Amino acid sequence: MSSGYGGGNAGLKSRLRAKARKKARKTGRLSFNRRKVCRFCADSNLKLDYKDAKGLRFFVTETGKLIPRRISGNCARHQRQVTLAIKRARQLALMPFAVSGA
């Protein structure tokens, strides 16, 4: 037997989510998640440049992976530009590809 949501339990995940929402409403603990705003769309003075390694560090994890859109809050257009800038900075050795092991 599988313990996951897959297989024949197609509606189980949505039922569990609805149940959790109903419980949160009863207890008054319904959380509100604020929508993330793209920092480059919000401030037109911010420029995205591959030579600015310090500015690009916000979009890379400590292990060297790129941070996805859903976490960084960038729009699709600027996320593509961030990705391209990080890749260029890596090619010019301004940023590391990966963190060296201890």
Please name each of the domains of the chain with its CATH number.
39-91 (4.10.640.10)
- Which is higher by pLDDT, 73 or 32? 73
| pLDDT score, position 80 | 97
Give 67-101 pLDDT, tens digit per residue: 999 999 999 999 999 999 999 999 999 999 988 76
Task: Check pLDDT > 90 for residue 4.
Answer: no
> How much is the pLDDT for 34?
76
Alpha-carbon distance of 40 to 48, in angstroms, equals: 8
Q: What's the confidence (pLDDT) of residue 29?
A: 63
Q: 12 or 3, which is more confident?
A: 12
